[in-house]
Chain A
Amino acid sequence: MLDRPGTSGEPSVRTEDLCKTYGRGETAVHAVQRISVAIERGEFVALCGPSGSGKTTLVNLVGGLTDPTEGRVWVDGKEVGGMSERQRARLRLNHIGFVFQAYNLLPVLTALENAEFPMMLRGVERETRREQVLELFEEIGLEGLHDRRPGALSGGQQQRVAVARAVLGAPALVLADEPTANLDTVASDALLDVMELLNRERGVTFIFCTHDPRVMRRARRIIRLVDGHVERDAEKETGDLPSWVVEPVNS
């Protein structure tokens, strides 16, 4: 069993010489190349960089959704590569929340059922689940929409349900891949407020893949990837937007 968040004293996420290569020979694509980073508990980190720089692949490697070609990943001090498929599933279920760019809600479930799905898999009582979902839905402007299927929700509403699904039950780590890509300013700010609150009050670690300056402004650490390498990794004050995050590659 993995330790509960904040009890092991290890970084939330650590990678060592992490590599991921797709294909072989001349057509091989080196999506991630020898990345070694450590992200402490409670950090609010933005991974930025141009498309194809390896952000999503890095997040997938951290979440155990794909295997590294080389190198190692630890989440909460436990090496993901050494886990069985079942242990990885348990890690994702109990410690990691995912937010995907394309919402990825289950179309046959209602908004409420989608949001409570991971909690239900964890065995949280029905009443507790429903109470938490409805409370969060109210905070993020989804009140009254809990019975709707994803097809009857706007893109922004679907993404808010997806975020609710990721953060409910307070996982130790949330991996969010372009969570605001399809949202307007108001919806983005509402979501980021919720995530900041969880980060501040419950110590949940957030790692965003993003191109969105609004996300990067709120981040307290930005890691810029280029061609699968870490080009720059710096802490910053909330509200700042360093010029290098939007600089063209190799400038």
Chain B
Amino acid sequence: MMERPKVLVRIAARNVRRQARRSLLTASAMVLGIALLMLVRALEAGGHMAFVESAVRLGTGHIAIEHPEYAASRDLVHRIPEEHLRLAEDEVAAAAGRGEVRAVFPRITVGGLAQSPSSAIPVQIAGVEPAREAPVSFLAESIVKGRFLEPGDRLEAVVGGGLAERLRVELGSRLVLMAEGAHGELESQLVFVTGIFQTGIPEVDRGTVQLPLETAREWLGVGGDATSLNVILTSERWTGPVARAVGERLESSLGAGEVSVKPWWEALPDLHAGLQADAVQTYVMFLILLAIVALAVVNSVLMAVLYRTREFGVVRSLGLNRRSVGGMVMVEGTLLSLVSGIAGMLLGLVLARGVFRNGIDISRILSEEDLAFGGAVMDPVVLPVVQSGDVVAILAIVMAIGILASLYPAWQATRIEPAEAMKVEH
């Protein structure tokens, strides 16, 4: 570093230390603000990940491979033929690197009626493969009575707690499922309730029935076909890359328009929109916190400039030009922001990974219904998740704010006229 910048940085650093109490107060406000910002961001990330995790494990998967028309029609006409299904499974295996894919499973999902001796209720009926789906299924985890589906089951079915109540069925009760089959005729299937689940998501608990995939295929006459092939990944962050790679491979082997490969945010648009709306609220809070940080820097650096008017007059008279004087002030603000930024991040990490590492229980503030939206549910204990991208982004934003907030005080310092400044008594 050249001598002049070096000495200007030295003067700036010593001036930050010189006004120790003021610098400390400003730094404390910044450190707390940044730490709070990190914790809020980590909780938001943790909450969102929990929502996504529950939603994808309800069956959509991180990636859903469907017939392009199926999302709009929900009609069995728009299903994936068995050979495409096999090819898609192969392409998923090929496109995903080792360890990226946790589970792949086909499904038949149709809208229909569940009828008990006392009532008939419209439901979503899903044929699932217990061997492949049970280890990752959110429903399997949410069984409160009986058991989830197992390999070898034929006429067993699991139903939501709300649905069981409305249909007045218990474990072992008979249930008749009715839906339009592959040939356009209404088909019925008798099943026995073997498990009752309670996810906390009202629309799921009040309107979902799952039965073995093979039973559903036979009942609806779809052969080896399925309405979707769902992929659950080991981490949500692989969704985009894996979806793109699978999409490209399927397009080259099947041609365009045969199947659509949707990442969860396309497959679950309501959830995605909800999370985005939630993120906007958080960003508004971030803006307020960052504005406080900016004001703290402006206040501290501007006070330092006004307090040292005479000194700026002296350095100007000794031959320092306006630009260098402004630069000295900018360095002060930047140093203050950098030190506070790093300290704030460390405190944020201590809070997120230390103090609150076991999560924050929000069940006292939010009811069970508030914990569910967009077909997903969040655990009432929110675990903070610190993402390295957030850490870098927050530090970069704080630094940018420190620099921007120092511009006005620096401009003020450049306007100081040496002769006038040296008349100021401090």
A interface list, Cβ under 8 A from B: 60, 63, 65-66, 85-86, 89-90, 92-94, 98, 100, 102, 104, 106-109, 113, 117-118, 120-123, 126, 165
Contacts and interface: CB of A to CB of B under 8 A. Distances in A.
Given A66-B419, A106-B314, A120-B4, A85 B322 contact: yes
Nearest to A98: B317
Contacts of A66: 417-420
29 contacts: A60-B419, A63-B317, A65-B418, A65-B419, A65-B422, A66-B418, A86-B321, A86-B322, A89-B320, A89-B321, A92-B317, A92-B318, A93-B318, A93-B319, A93-B320, A98-B317, A104-B311, A107-B18, A108-B11, A108-B14, A108-B15, A109-B11, A113-B7, A117-B7, A120-B4, A121-B4, A121-B318, A123-B3, A126-B3
A65 B14 CA distance: 26
A-B residue pairs, 10 tightest by C-beta: A93-B319, A108-B14, A89-B321, A66-B419, A65-B419, A92-B319, A60-B419, A104-B314, A65-B418, A86-B321
Contacts of A107: 18, 311
Majority secondary structure, B binding face: helix
A183 B418 CA distance: 25
Nearest to B7: A120
B14 A118 contact: no
Nearest to B4: A121
Contact of A165 (B7, B316, B318, B420): B318
Contacts of B419: 60, 65-66
Given A98-B317, A104-B310, A120 B422 contact: no
Nearest to A61: B419
A93 B315 CA distance: 10
B319 A89 contact: yes
Nearest to B15: A108
B10 to A, nearest CB: 8
Contacts of B4: 120-121, 123
A108 B15 CA distance: 7
A107 B321 CA distance: 20
Interface of B: 2-4, 7, 11, 14-15, 18, 310-311, 314-323, 417-420, 422
A66 B321 CA distance: 14
Nearest to B425: A102
A189 to B, nearest CB: 26
B276 to A, nearest CB: 49
Nearest to A88: B321
A127 B4 CA distance: 15
A106 B311 contact: yes
B15 A100 contact: no
A4 to B, nearest CB: 16
Contacts of B3: 120, 123, 126
A154 to B, nearest CB: 20
A117 B318 contact: yes
B272 to A, nearest CB: 54
B326 to A, nearest CB: 12
Contacts of A122: 319
A98 B318 contact: yes
A94 B318 CA distance: 9
Given A66-B417, A89-B316, A120-B4, A106 B11 contact: yes
A179 to B, nearest CB: 15
A100 B318 CA distance: 11
Contacts of A65: 316-317, 417-419, 422
Given A93-B320, A100-B422, A108-B14, 13 more contacts: A65-B316, A65-B419, A85-B322, A89-B322, A94-B319, A98-B317, A106-B11, A106-B311, A106-B315, A108-B15, A108-B18, A118-B318, A120-B3
A210 B137 CA distance: 92
* Residue in B4, B315, B317, B420 with the greatest tally of chain A CB atoms within 10 Å: B317
Contacts of A117: 7, 315, 318
A89 B317 CA distance: 7
Nearest to B319: A93
B11 A90 contact: no
Nearest to A124: B3
A109 B11 CA distance: 7
Contacts of A100: 314, 422
A195 to B, nearest CB: 18
Contacts of A123: 2-4
A65 B314 CA distance: 10
B424 to A, nearest CB: 11
A85 B416 CA distance: 12
A107 B318 CA distance: 15
Nearest to B318: A118
B335 to A, nearest CB: 13
Nearest to A129: B3
A181 to B, nearest CB: 15
A90 B319 CA distance: 6
A86 B319 CA distance: 9
B422 to A, nearest CB: 7
